[in-house]
């Protein structure tokens, strides 16, 4: 366990520090929804006594705090965050972000706002259209009161996310983007209600509710994308066993929770069981599936003296082991901490919309106040002055700006989905558009990760059926490959009765004809000339005839083509693999990758990525095994195949399906197309404000016209984003065609 990872790295990122080292604390922070919120939390925490550094992960709403050896007052940290408008609490092991509840709440409010806006618009048509002059005053007033009856409760319910956020900011004597939004909605609603009581025509209920509707669309799209990026480090803990079978000194056994296992305890692991903690084998032999750790699809044969790791599975045979680590110090826990640190580092990525919004809130307030005071100083009454100020607040509400990125993300994710790619991280496309280096794993990424029988055509049906009858009784990957080959040929696969599986050797069956064996050359009593190959099984029948079964993990059909296309486009490509040197060298030569490394552990892959980061490179990591998960989280961007371990899919920014690597190219193409659309949307939003804000300031845009203009800018932004759905993307940054 300890020898596979850098002790310094693990000490830096975990709380298991020695007395002279720093300590770590994680807080769950509620109410963060933009880059300004993230920076405010980081600044507040960093200013507290005892805090060395603070990093916020916006995706999962967590703050990772590094404290001095003496520690920091947790309650003081929580109280400091409450003082700036954020509720926080310490992360418990079972804590999981309630993203689903937040999404559902926003969706309900969005539905209410949309329903109310459509109905108020219908009632407003008669008032604002040409037939308004034919109405008498009482009928107009009735329509206004009906609009009020719909608008007031709708605003009160749908506007709560903005009102609550604004209230927290104001209580903390802070400003955020929700303050001008709340002011504009409440002033428009309150003024419309006042004008309705006076029988005036200056009623803007439709403007207030429509404004909320479009703002909620932007907020919901952003939250829905971000909520899928739950913590991979937290989900990793689901791979561990929950209980262990402990062998007591008197020879009896007892089931204990893994958290109660201490080094020195004897642990029994049956065939098919997950190993509960890192341990050393004392008795027995077995094939252990370590694909989640090493990425190697072929199980490793272990025996007395070998170390086995938590989360791996004993495929064959029972093992008696001695625990060498507690649950919190296992390799699985180490990888979880590596991923947690990588995720926190990724949380510092700041999108263009967040940076643009940094100075937006104070500017909007000053502009609205300046408009009101200017009209008053020019001698106009408070009503025209307030109407102009409300129009300014509405027209400057960042609806188009808020939709600029989420709308492109939704369209891009839909296009990717149609091509078998599931986008998971809200800012994944932005980071993919910046990469210049691509790291590829071998097993399960460049290859399919599924051993296949390569010489089945020369094996006759009778011998294949005989081998399949033994293989059907085993869970070994090669056994499954033999069964699959037999089924593909239409041969019935019925497991023979009484098959004995000998761990690390093979399968044995005795019937009336004699003994049949399926396994290694040594197990099948082959002579020395037969050789011993880890990718070959032998079938020895009672007549003494032996037949070899050769297996391979085939490359994906388009692997060489995709690598060449990416290389020709100017990307630097490397292969990082936990597999053996010979297998990696063969795969690298087959696909044309000049730079490769073999036999790597999770810490080694992160070290290489960090080295490239130090050289100024932006790395796209593509991998599938548990050993790739920390590297996926540490890379600037990441992709994982759908066949990958669940934890790797969670760590990745996107998951692609199918047996081809072409989705890597499509992802990069769409990422660059999305970046262009997002920048164009920012241009639309800025141009809209440049044109309409002066009109609102001088009183040429009423609150209703302001809401229509705001809505039009949102529609323009959305329509521009929709161009990405069908647009032909031919090149990436002028390099990839």
Catalytic residue list: 441
Give the CA diameter of the chain.
112
Nearest partner of 546 among 576, 572, 568, 523, judged by Cα: 523
Radius of gyration over every alpha carbon of the chain, rounded to an integer in angstroms? 32
In three-state form (DSSP H/G/I as H, E/B as E, the rest C), the secondary structure along 166-218 is HHHHHHCCCCCCHHHHHHHHHHHHHHHHHHHHHCCCCCCHHHHHHHHHHHHHH
- In angstroms, the CA 381 to CA 68 distance is 59
Nearest partner of 176 among 400, 398, 406, 405, judged by Cα: 398
How many residues comprise the chain? Answer: 737
**DSSP secondary structure string, 684-733?**
HHHHHHHHHHHHHHTT-S-HHHHHHHHHHHHHHHHHHHHHHHH-----BT
Q: What share of the chain is helix, strand, coil (3-state, %, to 5)?
A: 50, 15, 30
Q: Is the dihedral of CA 300, 306, 311, 313 positive or negative?
A: positive
- In angstroms, the CA 723 to CA 418 distance is 15
Q: Is the dihedral of CA 17, 19, 21, 22 positive or negative?
A: positive
Contacts of 94 (CB under 8 A, 6+ apart): none
Q: How far is CA 700 from CA 129, 201, 229, 388, 687, in A?
A: 19, 17, 45, 9, 18
* Token pair 């590094």 in the structure block, residue: 66
Nearest partner of 169 among 62, 89, 81, judged by Cα: 81
- In angstroms, the CA 694 to CA 520 distance is 82
CB 99 within 8 A of CB 227: yes
CA 560 remoteness from chain centre: 28
- In angstroms, the CA 328 to CA 240 distance is 11
Task: For residue 140, give both structure tokens.
Answer: 């107009």
E strands along 461-544, which residues?
500-502, 506-511, 514-519, 536-540
């Amino acid at each position: 366990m300890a020898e596979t990872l850098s002790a310094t790295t693990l000490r830096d990122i975990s709380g298991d520090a020695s007395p002279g080292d720093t300590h770590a604390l994680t807080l769950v922070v509620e109410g963060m929804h933009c880059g300004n919120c993230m920076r405010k939390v980081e600044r507040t925490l960093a200013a507290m006594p005892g805090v060395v550094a603070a990093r916020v992960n916006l995706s999962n709403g967590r703050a990772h705090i590094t404290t001095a050896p003496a520690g920091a007052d947790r309650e003081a940290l929580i109280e400091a965050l409450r003082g700036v408008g954020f509720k926080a609490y310490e992360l418990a092991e079972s804590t999981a972000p309630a993203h689903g509840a937040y999404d559902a709440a926003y969706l309900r409010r969005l539905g209410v706002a949309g329903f109310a806006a459509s109905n108020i618009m219908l009632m407003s048509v008669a008032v604002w259209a040409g037939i308004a002059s034919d109405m008498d005053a009482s009928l107009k007033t009735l329509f206004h009161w009906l609009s009020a009856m719909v608008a007031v409760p709708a605003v009160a319910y749908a506007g709560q996310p903005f009102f609550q956020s604004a209230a927290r900011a104001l209580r903390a004597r802070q400003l955020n983007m929700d303050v001008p939004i709340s002011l504009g909605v409440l002033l428009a609603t309150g003024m419309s209600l006042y004008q309705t009581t006076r029988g005036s025509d200056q009623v803007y209920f439709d403007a207030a509710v429509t404004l909320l509707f479009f703002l909620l669309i932007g907020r919901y799209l952003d939250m829905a994308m971000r909520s899928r990026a739950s913590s991979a480090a937290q989900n990793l803990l689901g791979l561990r066993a929950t209980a262990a079978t402990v062998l007591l000194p008197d020879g009896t056994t007892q089931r204990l929770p893994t958290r109660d296992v201490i080094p020195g305890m004897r642990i029994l692991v049956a065939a098919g069981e997950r190993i509960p903690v890192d341990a050393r084998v004392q008795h027995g032999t077995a094939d252990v599936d370590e694909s989640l750790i090493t990425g190697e699809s072929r199980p490793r044969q272990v025996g007395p003296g070998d170390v086995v790791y938590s989360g791996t599975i004993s495929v064959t045979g029972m093992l008696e082991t001695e625990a060498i680590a507690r649950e919190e110090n296992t390799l699985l826990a180490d990888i979880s901490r590596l991923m947690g640190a990588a995720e926190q580092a990724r949380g510092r990525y700041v999108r263009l919309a967040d940076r643009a919004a940094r100075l937006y809130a104070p500017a909007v307030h000053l502009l609205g106040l300046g408009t009101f005071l200017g009209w008053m100083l020019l001698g106009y009454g408070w009503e025209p002055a307030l109407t102009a100020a409300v129009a300014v607040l509405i027209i400057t509400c960042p609806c188009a700006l808020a939709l600029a990125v989420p709308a492109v993300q939704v369209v891009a994710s839909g296009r990717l989905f149609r091509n078998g790619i599931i986008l998971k991280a809200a800012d994944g496309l932005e980071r993919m558009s910046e990469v210049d280096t691509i790291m590829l794993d071998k097993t399960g990424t460049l290859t399919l990760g599924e051993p296949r029988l390569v010489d089945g055509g020369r094996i006759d049906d009778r011998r294949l059926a005989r081998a399949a009858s033994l293989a059907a009784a085993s869970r070994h990957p090669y056994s499954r490959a033999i069964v699959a080959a037999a089924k593909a040929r239409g041969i019935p696969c019925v497991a023979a009765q009484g098959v004995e599986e000998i761990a690390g050797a093979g399968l044995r069956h005795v019937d009336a004809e004699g003994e049949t064996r399926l396994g290694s050359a040594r197990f099948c009593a082959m002579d020395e000339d037969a050789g011993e190959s880890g990718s070959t099984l032998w079938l020895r029948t009672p007549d003494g005839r032996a037949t070899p079964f050769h297996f391979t993990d085939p490359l994906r059909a388009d692997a060489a083509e995709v690598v060449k296309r990416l290389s020709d486009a100017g990307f630097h490509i490397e292969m990082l693999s936990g597999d053996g040197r010979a297998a990696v060298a063969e795969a690298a030569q087959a696909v044309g990758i000049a730079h490769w490394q073999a036999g790597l552990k999770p810490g080694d892959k992160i070290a290489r990525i960090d080295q490239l980061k130090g050289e100024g490179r932006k790395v796209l990591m593509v991998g599938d095994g548990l050993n790739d998960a920390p590297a996926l989280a540490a890379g600037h961007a990441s992709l994982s195949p759908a066949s990958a371990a669940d934890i790797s899919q969670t760590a990745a920014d996107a998951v692609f399906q199918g047996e081809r690597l072409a989705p890597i190219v499509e992802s990069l193409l769409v990422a660059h197309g999305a970046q262009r659309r997002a920048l164009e949307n920012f241009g639309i939003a800025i141009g809209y404000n440049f044109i309409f804000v002066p009109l609102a300031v001088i009183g040429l845009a009423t609150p209703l016209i302001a809401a229509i203009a705001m809505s039009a800018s949102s529609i323009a932004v959305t329509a521009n984003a929709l161009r990405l759905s069908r647009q032909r993307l031919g090149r990436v940054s002028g390099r990839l065609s």
